[in-house]
Amino acid sequence: MSQFAVLPDPGLAHTLDEVAACLRLLKTWAGNPSYETITARVNTRRPPGEQVGKTTVVDCFRAGRRRLDPDLVVAVVEALHADAGYTNQWRQALRVASGETRGAGSQVRVLGSLPGLPAGFVSRTPSVGPAPLSVLSGMAGAGKTTLALQAAHRLAASQPFDRVLAVNLRGSHADQPPAGPDAVLDGFLRLLGVPGQHLPHGLAAQTTAYRNRLSGTRVLVLLDDAASDSQVRPLLAPGPGSVTLITSRRRLDGLTEAAQVEVGVFRPGEARDFLLAALPPGADPAAADRIAATCGYLPLALARVVAHMRERPGWTLADHADWLAERRRSGRLDPSVRQALDVSYRNLPGRGRDLLRLLAHHPGRSFDAPAAEALAGAAAGEALRDLAANHLLLPAGPSRWAMHDLVRVYAAGRSADEDRRSDRRAALNRLFDHLRTTGADPADLAAAADYAAAEGWALDSHRSAK
């Protein structure tokens, strides 16, 4: 049995020594076959005049080499793990290590089949129809990838495709930049049978070759976690009968021909089903509902609670609900949820980050643009559009927005870390002034005063309504 459960990532190798080290990890991952075995496997893939000896293969694993034979290294990788997408990752890593290309954006793993559905997934709404192009967008952790996979598997079962292509575009990856469309097309073309020596250079030529290769076929393309319109447009499946499914945290409004599907959080019944499916029969549905509500019905947050349940089998569901409520009162989020929101936050322009932090101090459940501008002390229209496009704000009626509960907790924590206390108090005073001078509902004024009191602030009492 393999010592390592996770396949080594060649994308982390940027030098020839790091490539050799990753190759050694792959050998261990593959069960540590002998060099004789690896050599025999390599030679079965090479013509008679290009057979290699064991010493030549062993040299691929040694540090201190000034150059490596990329074709031989790829053959060794195939001998250890014969997966076309993984092999393509190694080709890209070798080009980076040799100086042929630069940057992690040029490295990406493509697949020639659909990934499997995650264990315990719950069928949910919205349903995704068989449109030629669909974009599923929503906030971090909303379950866009699972919903797209569910739709893709359903489509593939009902109307088999000639080819299936899939890739994670890393539009919101915590540590790596978005995948370049040229790198994705390089991988797709190899999967489609284009020999390496015949691969075109340049995005335009790659796009033409890709479309020509797929001409007359029905293809299903899954583009997960897209960063922008420009990243995905060269990758769209051409021709009648083909389908492209895209997921993104951003609204990709530039794809005007696409069916736009907004992916929200679970419905209460879906959230309950998700939790109870992970537990033995007889679990308390009322406690499941408490957990779901505390998590704001966000699939990622609920998945983390399920992981917590499995780590503590002696706890009742009510114990988990109490634990989660206590964490929420103290402003703590699960690390995975925080990391997902961190990426969305970092992808915002500065004005969007500033406004998001201040909006966490709005005491109401929803707000309009003038209230946001009062908090910011400046025009906020563009920042509001940025936040909405990244699904960090939710529509709450005509010209009104709301924040998901977990986004509010996250933004309040960011504000405590990054904003001066005096600036937060001044923002709330501006909001209180705005609410009074615009004839706001008395309940909103009371909520603002209660919020200030909870923070230990006394709102400026000398201000009066105009």
Do 291 and 257 have their domain in common?
A: no
End-of-domain residue from the set 50, 81, 101: 101
Residue 224 lies in a domain: yes
- Reading the block at residue 148, the tokens are 């797209």
Residue 464 lies in a domain: no
Do 182 and 153 have their domain in common?
A: yes
Q: How far is CA 1 from the centre of its chain?
A: 31
> Where is mean pLDDT largest: 190-204, 254-268, 303-317, 445-459?
254-268
Confidence of residue 466 (pLDDT cuts 50, 70, 90): very low
Residue 460 lies in a domain: no
Greatest C-alpha distance within the chain: 92
Percent of the chain having pLDDT more than 90? 57
Q: What range defines the domain where residue 168 resides?
A: 133-262
Q: Please give the model's pTM, rounded to 2 decimal places.
A: 0.76
Count the Cβ atoms, other than its own, within 10 Å of residue 235: 21
Do 428 and 364 have their domain in common?
A: yes
Query: How much is the mean pLDDT over the chain?
Result: 87
End-of-domain residue from the set 211, 230, 262: 262
Give the span between the Cα atoms of 351 and 405, in whole angstroms. Answer: 21
116 Cβ contact partners less than 8 Å away, ≥ 6 residues apart: none
pLDDT at 135: 97
Do 137 and 255 have their domain in common?
A: yes
Q: How many domains does the chain have?
A: 4
Do 256 and 275 have their domain in common?
A: no
Do 222 and 198 have their domain in common?
A: yes
Give the span between the Cα atoms of 346 and 75, in whole angstroms. Answer: 39
Residue 145 lies in a domain: yes
Do 145 and 241 have their domain in common?
A: yes
Residue 112 lies in a domain: no
pLDDT at 465: 37
Find the radius of gyration of the CA atoms of the chain: 26
